[in-house]
């Protein structure tokens, strides 16, 4: 009996110790964060926020920790991240916080484990060179809904999103033991007010206050903040939220502006400090010198101004997630697939000379012993891959039931958010003249009886082309959505496809339109061994290849024209020979030891492509004139 008692006591002692160890391993010390007396206070002591922006949606989930370690080793104490509504709500009423890189709560927990505070930017408007600024495309289908406005259908939709997000993250606020110290209300709203002078300021203000209230109602109880250009705070700031400024290098102006809209006191923060810049197809790759970024960083440090590098690590616009801008010379400026941003940490997670310089700058200022810089993830070169199958798109669509209508329908009317639509019309009489597509959104290849006539392109404002269609001829207009505008007043004009009439020689072409939907959310299945690609027709190329080791690499797309690439079911994003991006980043975590599959959808297909190659270094700065 005594022996049994001793064994029982040892068991409970061991169980108790195991419980203590488990508690010690998983519990986090509670901290406090507040804005008081002109300071950010962490556990009651003034701190300066040294933050870097990284969007979890733009980085493969297996790489989150590596990138966060890179930030910590650079000397940062905070990570800021947008949440993109349309990445979390994948279809109307379908919410996904688990698959791919969508687990925002796990990202926040990972940041906490790496010793980083978190700034959350839930929008609902994000901008960020992301498709539609983060809004779901189907909002446009509700004719009573007005985007970014004090409009009940829109605010009701925002409330659902904010509440769904809060269910995931509200217990990760610092007030509940988590690392989230601040939450942004709306985003750069002052610029939108300036662009939309047709809307009364009072209506604008009612909308931004409504978003703030929805955040509070959902359970966000850490300090809220706004973020605008320094000249836009009058309309962009929200009562009860800390105003911060974007892109302002003049430290005196930072303080003066925030004082004006925050009771003549701080804390002072530049919420978007740009160490790089965004990039569009067909334009030079933007760069910012290390020296200028270090100089500006020192000025902020010495002036007691907190800051957030936008971006410290940009990542990638995988799939169809890239957005677009516009200017007087371009009706649309689609963003490239890489979101490298010339940031201190490259698209593939590599430290740059800019990173090293900033690390030295921050370490000198804080006197903190920083952890070592993490090693690069393994980089490999793939063997030359020979395609085993190919297919002619015009043959594949024979298996697709077209939508028929008297007039062309938009992507949204076809209930399709992304990808491509082939618009087809058969003529029972010959017609010749100028084909005009003023309603093109965004890029089209024009075929008559299967022969490529040319391309029309919203980016270059090319909306007309001469055509000659014979008796019983077929006109095909193959339209690509190149990403919805994410910034500016045109965000409310984001329908895709053919949104206006098709005219030839001044005549509107109606009746008997067929529309073949090609969203390309998945790789079309090809018959094994079939090689039927036709030069001059859109084509799909497919291959299987074997790897003995995995690692990051970059697909060389410089000999291709325009399209997208899938690896093991993952859409790597768009390529386009015009540049400046000539390679596509392929994360090694998406490759398998053993069998892998690649599929390339090539839209133009001027020449046959028997193989595809990779390289160990990206090419992001090479422009090529479009034909």
Count CB-CB contacts under 10 A for residue 19.
10
Residues 6 or more apart whose Cβ sits within 8 Å of residue 285: 279, 342, 580, 581, 620, 621
From 188, 296, 347, 480, the catalytic residue: 188
Nearest residue to 193 (alpha-carbon basis) of 205, 182, 181 = 205
458 Rama sector, left if φ>0, alpha if ψ -120 to 50, beta otherwise: alpha
**What does the H/E/C string look like for 385-409?**
EECCEEEEHHHHHHHCCCEEECCCC
Give the 3-state secondary structure of residue 10. helix
**What DSSP string describes 230-250?**
GGGHHHH--TTSEEEEES---
- Annotated active-site residue 188? The verdict is yes
User: CA 248: distance to chain centroid?
Assistant: 24
40 DSSP 8-state letter: E
| Cis status of the peptide bond prior to 334, with omega within 30 of 0 | no
From 272, 389, 480, 602, the catalytic residue: 272
HSE at residue 54, side-chain half, CA atoms within 13 A, is 36
Distance set, CA 86 to CA 4, 71, 157, 158, 320 (Å): 61, 27, 12, 11, 11
576 DSSP 8-state letter: E
**C-alpha angle 321/325/328, rounded to 5°?**
160
Residue 192 host element (H or E): helix 189-195
CB 617 within 8 A of CB 589: no
Nearest residue to 382 (alpha-carbon basis) of 523, 564, 575, 543 = 543
User: Is residue 433 packed enough to be buried (19+ CB in 10 Å), middle (13-18) or exposed (0-12)?
Assistant: middle
Residue 103 host element (H or E): none
CB 132 within 8 A of CB 323: yes
- Residues serving a catalytic function are 188, 272
């Amino acid at each position: 009996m005594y022996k049994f008692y001793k064994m029982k006591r040892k068991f409970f002692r061991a169980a108790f110790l195991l419980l203590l160890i488990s508690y010690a391993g998983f519990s986090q010390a509670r901290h406090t964060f507040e804005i008081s007396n002109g300071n950010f206070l962490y556990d009651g002591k003034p701190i300066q926020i040294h933050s870097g922006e990284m969007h979890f949606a733009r980085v493969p989930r297996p790489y989150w920790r590596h990138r966060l370690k890179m930030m910590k080793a650079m000397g940062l104490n905070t990570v800021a991240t947008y949440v993109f509504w349309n990445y979390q709500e994948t279809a109307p009423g379908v919410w996904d916080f688990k698959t791919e890189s969508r687990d925002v709560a796990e990202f926040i927990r990972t940041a906490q484990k790496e010793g980083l505070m978190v700034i959350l930017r839930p929008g609902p408007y994000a901008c960020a060179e992301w498709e539609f600024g983060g809004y779901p495309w189907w909002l446009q289908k509700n004719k009573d809904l007005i985007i970014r406005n004090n409009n009940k259908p829109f605010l009701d939709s925002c409330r659902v999103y904010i509440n769904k997000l809060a269910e995931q993250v509200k217990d990760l606020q610092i007030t509940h033991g988590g690392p989230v110290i601040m939450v942004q209300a709306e985003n750069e709203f002052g610029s939108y007010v300036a662009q939309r002078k047709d809307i009364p300021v009072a209506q604008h203000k009612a909308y931004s206050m409504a978003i703030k209230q929805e955040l509070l109602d959902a359970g966000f109880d850490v300090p809220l903040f706004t973020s605008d250009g320094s000249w836009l705070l009058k309309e962009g700031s929200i009562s009860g939220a800390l105003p911060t400024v974007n892109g302002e290098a003049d430290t005196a102006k930072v303080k003066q502006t925030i004082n004006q809209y925050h009771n003549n006191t701080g804390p002072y923060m530049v919420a978007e400090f740009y160490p790089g810049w965004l990039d569009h197809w067909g334009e030079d790759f933007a760069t910012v010198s290390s020296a200028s970024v270090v100089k500006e960083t020192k000025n902020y440090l010495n002036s007691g101004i907190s800051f957030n590098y936008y971006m410290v690590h940009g990542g990638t616009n995988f799939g169809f997630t890239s957005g677009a801008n516009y200017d007087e010379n371009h009706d649309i400026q689609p963003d490239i697939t890489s979101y490298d941003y010339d940031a201190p940490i490259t698209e593939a997670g590599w430290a740059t000379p800019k990173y090293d310089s900033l690390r030295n700058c921050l370490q000198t200022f804080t006197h903190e012993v920083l952890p070592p810089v993490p090693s690069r993830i393994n980089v490999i070169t793939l063997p030359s891959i020979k395609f085993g199958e190919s297919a002619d798109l015009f043959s594949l669509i024979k298996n697709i039931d077209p939508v028929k209508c008297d007039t062309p329908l938009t992507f949204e009317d076809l209930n399709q958010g992304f990808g491509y639509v082939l618009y087809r019309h058969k003529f029972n009489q010959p017609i010749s003249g100028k084909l005009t597509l003023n309603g093109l959104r965004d890029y089209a290849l024009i075929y008559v009886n299967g022969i490529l006539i040319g391309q029309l392109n919203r980016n270059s404002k090319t909306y007309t082309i001469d055509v000659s269609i014979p008796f019983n001829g077929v006109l095909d207009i193959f339209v690509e959505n190149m990403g919805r505008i994410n910034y500016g007043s045109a965000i409310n004009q984001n329908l895709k496809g053919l949104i206006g009439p098709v005219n030839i020689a001044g005549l509107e072409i109606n009746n008997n339109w067929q529309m073949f939907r090609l969203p390309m959310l998945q790789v079309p299945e090809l018959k094994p061994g079939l090689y039927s690609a036709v030069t001059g027709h859109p084509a799909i190329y497919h291959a299987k290849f074997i790897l003995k080791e995995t690692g990051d690499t970059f697909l060389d797309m410089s000999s291709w024209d325009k399209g997208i690439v899938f690896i093991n079911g993952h859409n790597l994003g768009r390529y386009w020979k015009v540049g400046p991006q000539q390679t596509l980043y392929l994360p090694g975590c998406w490759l398998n030891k053993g069998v892998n599959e690649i599929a390339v959808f090539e839209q133009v297909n001027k020449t046959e492509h028997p193989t595809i190659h990779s390289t160990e270094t990206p090419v992001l700065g090479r422009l090529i004139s479009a034909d």
